[in-house]
Chain A
């Protein structure tokens, strides 16, 4: 398994798609931050109004809201919208499906007949991939505002680290879903579409609706446990942290076992 992970890591850092995903993520984050800065600047609002743009009271409220944001507020407003999930999902889809579309999976499975190793390697890689994207995004959200002279109220390093950790977990779980979908479909296009659909929250909404109809526990909350608006990290206390961890572990286990079954039961 470690040889396979070593190979996967080498390939990750050699592949163009990884750097494209990182670049697109960075560009989008810079654009969103610049737009937030534009909206937050009262002089800019006045200038826009003078140019004939219609500025309503709610725009002014929004502007004030952004001005009063802390670093974590700004970070979570930008990163917690699901776009990072989509980027991670697409990245993992491209990476894993590369094995199938290129046919390299034949070489891998000829050497290593234990398909479990393949899945375990991809689970670990998904953690590393989502970790890199999460850390990069957090760093950019600390750096870019300063570069454009936007200074949200600072938060402590400990809280930012905590936030990074809790953001990373659902992204890891989500990228595992992308892995499972690729192993199911063995198709890049379908994998990307499903990542977009799931990243936009449609899967959570569907599961929630179905759950309410069948009187299940509120499963969709567990999908969203760590990325819901306004909840940066689980509230202090064992129970909320436990729930968030249990959700991540459960979904990871579901996708991991699903991936394993898909690899074990199907021929290459």
Chain B
């Protein structure tokens, strides 16, 4: 059973579709990296999944139940945009209030444990308004973890964290996923960091899902490849496949051929030259994850 499944999920604000017929599937145990440009609809999607916004069309299921199902809701912890914290109260008191809202047994003990889990001191008394950005982010994650959820929805959880904080957050999320079996949906702009933890990715653009791909598939797609731009692409591709027995190659829409297996550049050039096919461009390419995402989103715009 999918932990999250959306069917044609759409949200319209005035004259703009923030989320447009989104099909998103998150499986049990996934760390799902949700990627998209600013304004692509990531936060709106998370709000729809949390019930903070109502869909204009379509539906979202969590643990197979509608978002509004109270039992399913109790299994979800969320950190949407900035952590929502009362600035005049201490971090502990904020958690204590949330524990009261959840109706937890023995809240003091649970709050103390969660604070330790996210690396904050349970004895910290100062009000949240004096916390650093990193401390607030940790506290936001602590709020999401309170009550022992099975699914975590985290919107930009490493925003404002220093490198050490980012590393700690990564280890925390990995630990929660491995040790407690938590399914985590995390949106982030820091793709390099995301690629260290995600097991599945969803790329969203203008409210629509461009691609959902597992980390393994992505790894294969991002492997080194030989690219060439011949004058007659279709003929060249057929020739190379026949002559060099190529199996892993693809034809790009712009007429570029990519060969993902070890191929001798000289042999490729020779085969094409003998057939009278001119090669405008040829070279080895190494693509990283960020490059792949940028390419899928249609250019080098800011992610």
Contacts and interface: CB of A to CB of B under 8 A. Distances in A.
Interface residues of B, number: 33
A162 B100 CA distance: 35
Contact of B73 (A6, A16, A110): A110
Contact of B47 (A6, A7, A102, A268): A268
Interface stretch (B85-93, B156-164, B204-212, B229-237): B85-93
A105 to B, nearest CB: 7
A10 B84 contact: no
Nearest to B84: A103
Contacts of B85: 102-104
Interface residues on A, range: 20 to 34
B105 to A, nearest CB: 12
Interface string A82-111: 000000000000000010001111111111
A112 interface: yes
Interface centre among A16, A104, A110, A267 (most CB of B within 10 A): A110
Interface in A195-217: none
A10 B96 contact: yes
A4 B99 CA distance: 10
A157 interface: no
A75 B99 CA distance: 42
Interface string B39-64: 00000000100111110000000000
Interface string A101-134: 0111111111111100000000000000000000
A16 B68 CA distance: 35
A114 B67 CA distance: 12
Given A11-B86, A102-B85, A110 B97 contact: no
A236 interface: no
A4 B101 CA distance: 5
A11 B87 CA distance: 12
A268 to B, nearest CB: 4
A14 interface: yes
Interface of A: 3-4, 6-7, 10-11, 14-17, 98, 102-114, 267-268
Interface of B: 47, 50-54, 67-68, 70, 73-74, 76, 78, 80-89, 93-94, 96-98, 100-103, 143
20 contacts: A3-B102, A7-B97, A10-B97, A10-B100, A11-B89, A15-B86, A15-B88, A98-B86, A102-B85, A102-B87, A103-B82, A104-B84, A105-B84, A106-B80, A106-B84, A109-B52, A112-B101, A113-B68, A268-B47, A268-B53
